[in-house]
Each structure stands twice: as structure tokens, then as C-alpha cells.
Chain A
Amino acid sequence: MASVSSAAESKTGNNQFLRIVAAISTLSGWLSAGMIMLSVLITCQMIFIRFVLNGSTVWQTEMVVYLMITATLIGLPYVQRMRGHVNVDLIPIMCPPRLRYYLSLFTLSLSSAIVVVMLYYGYDYWHIAWSKGWTSDTIWAVRLWIPYSALPIGFSLLLLQLIADLVAVILKIDAPFGLEDK
């Protein structure tokens, strides 16, 4: 996991586009952190009702699970920006700089491509849930398009950050794989 801590957040330089994307990704990181914290509090509230007041709970379990899923998907661009998604950087480290540059263009493009796939079908999935009015089969009966919307939103934000990372490498603002030459 050396790759997690090997580099800090991706660089933006003075590029307006990169800065805007960085700001969006940071904002989604805040949202994600907020949702995780909220799910801690809701779980504690649920435990209080159940064990202290001996009451029954309806919406809490479902709510915290959806919050966690949303936090994960919305948090993707932020973690991408902080280079928090683990990778194996053995080969990139061993590569000569020029090859490393092309390898990084390749992996970023490939990553963007799969994220486009997830975005396209994720939107599709959300759209079906929305147009057919799907609800969860619990007493609370959540309209499922609400949690499912995290799929298209999360993946489009991740795509944006991946494109920004690609642009930063092409414009030589950021080093490929965040690996600075020593």
C-alpha cells in the first residue's frame, strides 16, 4: 500500500479547469465525510431507541446503508484526487520516464472508459427505477431512484476527475502516477 501514501493530492497548477474540478472533488469529499458521520449518528440514535427506550425503529437501518453507499460513490472523485485508490505502482516506478508517461496516459484513458460504461448503465438503472417508480420492499418503502441516483452522479464526478488527471499529465502539470523523479 506504499502507493497510497507515496504522493499527496494531484496538482492543479494555474489551470482554471483543473482547479474547478479539484474544487468539485473536494466538495464531494466533504459531502461523503458528512454522510458517513451522519450514519454514525443515526446508528447511535437507533441503538438508543432500541436498547434504552425499548422502542422499534423503521427507517434507520435502510437509511444508514443508503447513506454509506452514497458516501462511497460520491466520495470516489475525492479519493481519486487524493490518490487514495490503491494501485500496484511497481512497474510504473521501474519504467523510464517516457514510458511511464505513456503508461499513465493509457491507464487513465482505460479507467475513464470503464467509468463511462458504469456511468451509462448506472444512469440507465437509475432511469428505470425512476420511470417505473420502484420502491424498496420494506415498511419504509424508499423510492429507489433516490439512492440509485448516487450511481450516475458518483461516476460522472469520478469521470470528471479522471479527465482532469489526464489533462494534468498531458499538460505536464502533474507527474505521471504522481511519481516525481528523484
Chain B
Amino acid sequence: MDPLFLGALVAIITIVVLFSGVSVAIGLLIVSAGFLITFDGLRSLELMPEILFGKLDSFALLSIPMFIIMGSSIASTRAGADLYEALERWLTRVPGGLVISNLGACALFAAMSGSSPATCAAIGKMGIPEMRKRGYPDGVAAGSIAAGGTLGILIPPSVTMIVYGIATETSIGRLFLAGVFPGLLLVSLFMAWSLYSTWRSGNTETLSPRSYTWQERFEILPRVIPFILIILGVLYAMYGGVATPSETAAVGALLCLLIAMIIYKLWHPRLLWQVLRDSTKESVMILFIIAAAGVFSYMLSSLYITQSIAEWIGTLDVNRWVLMIAINIFLLIAGFFLPPVAVILMAAPILLPIITTAGFDPIWFAVVLTINMEIGLISPPVGLNLYVINGIAPDIPLKTILSGSLPFVACMIVAIILLCIFPDIATWLPDYMMGTAR
């Protein structure tokens, strides 16, 4: 059978199987087994456990559970609220300071926790009521937090980037650095929109700043600085060539747990177990999808599907940007239904050869892909962040949250367009810090 036709068949059957409600990892194993039996015979199943095990047999993967522990120990504390307080106290004189400090707190917390829903919950619980109390429109209050939360998967250290790095065998260090400026670009776009729409709503007279004494400003710092230092330390250790991502993540995880225990008094075994339980749940889920996606991509290449698609794209006479737009639309749709990690793992083995054949930089593509996944996080039907916001501010109708988030989706699309025109936004920092690739 023609490998291209086979590829289309795999795609359709995978979609049908996944939409039946079976879990993603198991679904990938089912599809792989089905095609291997049909085209390579029953004996080819023998290899499945070996490939599954082999896929997990990598020291780099260890950074995933480590960063997850780091994030969930921070997320389990009041660190989010403290961060928000600190920024609010320091930025109170900046016009529209409240929404700026909310978005800033989202960006910082997102970097520390690496989790979008956790960021939304941690900052939104304090930020949304405060913004509404001070006259910010509901849509802006909800939308800014929903959008700000998505930064977790872009700003380093990001688990999504690690997964992309592992799936495509690109440098995790480079990927992290590539996320920095696009992350800042997104934050600026979000801030600009929030300020503009607040100003347009005409409620500016109620946006009176509260004043804080210098003592109030300084006394909050000791509670937030340790976490920020750890993040900076982790990044320094990775880029100073001191240690690998997994090693730094392990130290970061231990330090964050210790700080949570010491500063936030998280010493009760039940609370500690909660942190460990949540991180175990998330790590196992992601690692199992990674392993299953390994089997899936083995199936694709043993049936020559991956290779044929790449060849086929090479012979196609389409403009590379048309191709890029098509890929982005495909990813956007996938992102509406599936979490970023699952989309990346399934799409990477197929998309990467296409991307590189068409002459795109895989590091740059990681950033575009991640922003694309962020859109999925604040779009229905799955749009996890929308539901988190709905959970913490139940009196804002879901419709207002949705319409409040839409302009932020537009900001993300603007960011993707800017990245297409100026790819240096993503690639300059990794090239500058780590030397030009290739």
C-alpha cells in the first residue's frame, strides 16, 4: 500500500480512536498495535514493550518529574498571592498598575510553576476580585489572567519545551532561551491591550492607586525572592554549562520543596503528600504519553510513513509559508481538544521532517507551536484556563470570560505573525548565549 495513503489512514483512525474517549497514551498504543499487526504481522508486537521501555530510558526525561515537583511545590504555597502582592505594592504608581502587576505576577509565577492552570488559580484568586473591586471591566480582569496563565508553557523552565526537545532531539537549553523574548513580547502585548481596553471602558477615575509605605514594600520581599533566586539559579546552572537540565531540575525541586516547607510551613505530611501525589500523577501521565508516542512513531517509521510524508512535502511545489499556515491551523485545531504535551508528542515525529525540509528552524518552530498551544488553552471547548477562571470567579459568566479572552487570542496571533516576520525574536538569545547552531 502507498505509504502516503497509509499515513492518511493512520491519521483518520488515530482521530477516531482518540475521540472515543480512550486515554491518549493507551489510544496511541492501540493504533500502533493495530497497524503493526495488519502490516507487519503479529510478531512485530513483540517489540512494543521494548520500545516503550527504551523510550523512557533517558536521563534527559528525568527533568520532567523534577520540574513538575518544583512547580507544584511552589503552586501549593501562598507564593502566588505573595508575588502578586509584591508587584502590586511596587507598581502601584504606574498607571493601570494593577493589571500590569497581575500580568507580571502571572509571567513570573508561570515561570516558577510551569503550569498554566496553576498560574491562573494562584494569581487569579487574588487578582480578579481586586481588579473588579477597583473598576476594571470583568472581561479584562478574567481575560488577562486566563491569558497570563498560558505563559507557563512558554517562559522557561517549561515542561512543554522539554517534551518538545525530547520528541525532536533539539537542545532543551536552546529551547528555554528561545522562549524568553517571545514570552516578554506576549506579556507586553497583553499589557498594552489591557490598558487600552480599561481606558476605553471609561472607568479610569475608579482606578485609584492605593499607596504603600516603603516598609510595606520591603517586608514582602523575603517571601518571594527565594523562589526567584532558585529560578535564576536553575537557568544560570544550565547556561553556565554547570549541569544538565535534569541535574539542575533535581536541585531546584529539592530547594523549592525545602523553601515551601520552611517559609510556607508546608511540613505537615498530608500537605507534602498532596504535592508529591499531584506531581506523580502529572509526571506519570506525561511520561506514559511519551513512551506510547515512542511506540507510535516507531510504527510510523517502520511503515515508511514518516519518510514518505517528508519526501512528498519536498516534491510539493507550495510556498513554505502556505505550508506553515496549514501546519499552524492543524496544530490549532489539535490544541482545542488535546493538552499541549500530547499534541507535541503526536505531531513532532511527523511534522519535524516537514519543517526542516521546508527550511524552518526547529527551535523557532517550537516557539510558534507553543504560542499556538497557548491559544488552545484559552479557547473552547477544552480551554482549560477558562474553566479555572470560571471556578475561581463563578459570578463572571463564562460568556464574559470567553469574550474577555478573545482579544488576548488576537495578541497571540499577532505575536505569531511578528515571529514569522522577525524570527530573531526567538532565535537571537539562544544563538547569542550558546553560539549559532549547526
Which residue of A has the minimal Cβ distance to B391? A5
Please tell me if A23 contacts chain B, counting CB pairs below 8 Å. Answer: no
Residues of A within 8 A of B62 (CB): 39, 43, 64-65, 68
Which of B19, B22, B283 has a CB less than 8 Å from the CB of A90? B19
Contact with A along B300-337 (1 / 0, CB 8 A): 00000000000000000000000000000000000001
Given contacts A40-B254, A68-B56, A88-B338, contact A79 B24 (CB under 8 A): no
Number of A-B contacts (CB under 8 A): 185
Structural contact, A36 and B21, CB atoms closer than 8 A: no
Minimum distance in angstroms from B182 CB to a CB of chain A: 22
Structural contact, A110 and B22, CB atoms closer than 8 A: yes
Minimum distance in angstroms from A90 CB to a CB of chain B: 6
Residues of B within 8 A of A147 (CB): 53
Minimum distance in angstroms from A57 CB to a CB of chain B: 11
Structural contact, A40 and B66, CB atoms closer than 8 A: yes
Tell me whether chain B's interface is mostly helix, strand or loop, or mixed.
helix
Please tell me if A111 contacts chain B, counting CB pairs below 8 Å. Answer: yes
Please tell me if A115 contacts chain B, counting CB pairs below 8 Å. Answer: yes
Interface residues on B, range: 35 or more
Residues of B within 8 A of A130 (CB): none
Please tell me if A151 contacts chain B, counting CB pairs below 8 Å. Answer: yes
Please tell me if B112 contacts chain A, counting CB pairs below 8 Å. Answer: no
Structural contact, B285 and A85, CB atoms closer than 8 A: yes
Structural contact, A47 and B251, CB atoms closer than 8 A: yes
Which of B20, B66, B284 has a CB less than 8 Å from the CB of A107? B20
Contact with B along A66-97 (1 / 0, CB 8 A): 00110110011011101011111111100000
Structural contact, A125 and B50, CB atoms closer than 8 A: yes
Which residue of B has the minimal Cβ distance to A75? B284
Please give the residue numbers on chain A whose beta carbons come within 8 Å of chain B beta carbons, in ascending order: 1-5, 29, 32-33, 36-37, 39-41, 43-44, 46-47, 51, 61, 64-65, 68-69, 71-72, 75-76, 78-80, 82, 84-92, 103-104, 106-107, 110-111, 113-115, 117-118, 121-122, 124-125, 147-148, 151, 177
Which 4 residue pairs spanning A and B have beta carbons closest together?
A: A43-B250, A85-B23, A75-B284, A122-B49
Q: List 11 contacting pairs A-B, 8 Å CB cutoff, sorted by A.
A: A4-B285, A36-B65, A40-B254, A41-B254, A44-B251, A68-B56, A72-B56, A75-B283, A107-B21, A111-B23, A114-B30
With A37-B69, A84-B282 already in contact, 10 other A-B pairs whose C-beta atoms are closer than 8 Å:
A1-B339, A3-B382, A4-B339, A33-B276, A47-B243, A47-B251, A72-B291, A85-B25, A110-B30, A114-B29
